[in-house]
Amino acid sequence: MQHNLTVDFQKITTVIFDVDGTLYTQSKLRKKMLISLLRHYALRPWKAKDLLILHHFRAEREKRAGYSGNLENAQYEWCAAKGNFAPDRIREVVNYWMFQFPNKYLAACVYPGVRKFFQVLQENNITIGIYSDYEAVEKLEAMHLKADLVVSSTNKAVDRLKPNPEGLLYIVDKLGVTPQECLFIGDREELDGECAIKAGMPYLIVDKKEFSQFDFYDKLTRQFLISKTNKELV
């Protein structure tokens, strides 16, 4: 399904979301993180190598779209191979600066309309799933969002990066639904879109708009409610 097509919500029982760039704006978060990193390492120049660790960890993951096989350990090995980085230090830096510290900013970066859309789905007994390439449980808690199932690419049962569809297929199997009755919402056509296509699942790609003008989820909520009303009238 192309990302700009109208969704037939009367056929949808489950909505699955990507996280980074889909539920919150990354540009706003990155500005906050840049300031925090500069302040921190300006006072600790002897630890500036940590910035290279963060750069290479992200960059090496990006190069390996669709990777499968011991992903949890491989992602740190890729980073270590790019420089003289101690494995323990890589894990420490990545865990703090990528998986812990940014969470305090996430609530302010959630896209307009996200919480309302989640609420409407829950009120109408639509199952909510999460599929992210990174661990997402603590991120959801920070954003005050709840899902029925949260899965990441590093989950042992998945162990693959997008656009490999294994993560989506794993969620489908765990929830006991079919790909055709699910909707996957992501922010990258080449990863999330391709992942959905390979899984045989309808999908949407969020609009690329400024935070102040972002209305993707408001429109989706209205579309869902109109579909629900039409179904009740039939």
Q: Find residue 128's DSSP bridge partners.
A: 15
Residue 4 has pLDDT above 80, yes or no: no
Q: What is the pLDDT of residue 232?
A: 66
Read off the tokens for 26: 């990354």
Query: Does the pLDDT value for residue 220 go beyond 90?
Result: yes
Q: Are residues 212 and 122 in the same domain?
A: yes
Report CA Rg, the chain: 19
Per-residue pLDDT, averaged over 189-210, amounts to: 95
Query: Is 146 found in the same domain as 221?
Result: yes
C-alpha distances in Å from residue 43, one per residue of 40, 86, 154, 232: 6, 22, 34, 62
Q: Are the CB atoms for 17 and 183 separated by under 8 Å?
A: no
Question: Which pLDDT score, from 0 to 100, does residue 145 have?
Answer: 98
Note whether 18 and 115 are same-domain residues.
yes
pLDDT at 5 over 60: no
Q: Which sign does the torsion angle of CA 115, 121, 125, 126 carry?
A: negative
Confidence at residue 1, expressed as pLDDT on a 0 to 100 scale: 41
Domain holding 225, by residue range, is 9-25+110-233
Average confidence (pLDDT) over 21-41: 96
Residues 100 and 128 in one domain: no
Q: Looking at the 3D structure of the chain, how many domains does it have?
A: 2
In single-letter form, the type of residue at position 179 comes to P
The residue from 105, 124, 142 where one domain ends is: 105
Residue range 116-144: average pLDDT? Answer: 97
Q: Give the model's confidence band at 233: pLDDT under 50 very low, under 70 low, under 90 confident, else very high.
A: low
Structure confidence at residue 230 (pLDDT): 75
Q: What are the backbone dihedrals phi and psi of residue 141, each rounded to the nearest 5 degrees, phi first?
A: -60, -40
Q: Are residues 98 and 162 in the same domain?
A: no
Does 179 map to a domain?
yes
Choosing from 105, 140, 174, the residue where a domain stops is 105
> Is there a single domain that holds both residue 16 and residue 128?
yes
Q: Is residue 1 included in any domain, yes or no?
A: no
Which of 57, 82, 105 is a domain's end point? Answer: 105
pLDDT value for 69: 86
Instruction: Grade residue 7 by pLDDT with cuts at 50, 70 and 90.
Output: confident
Distance CA(212)–CA(129), nearest Å, equals 27
Q: What is the pLDDT of residue 43?
A: 96
Is position 198 within any domain? yes
User: Based on the domain organization, do 211 and 183 belong to the same domain?
Assistant: yes
User: Does residue 2 lie in a domain region?
Assistant: no
Task: State the CATH number of the domain containing residue 132.
Answer: 3.40.50.1000
Cβ-contact 37, 51 below 8 angstroms: yes
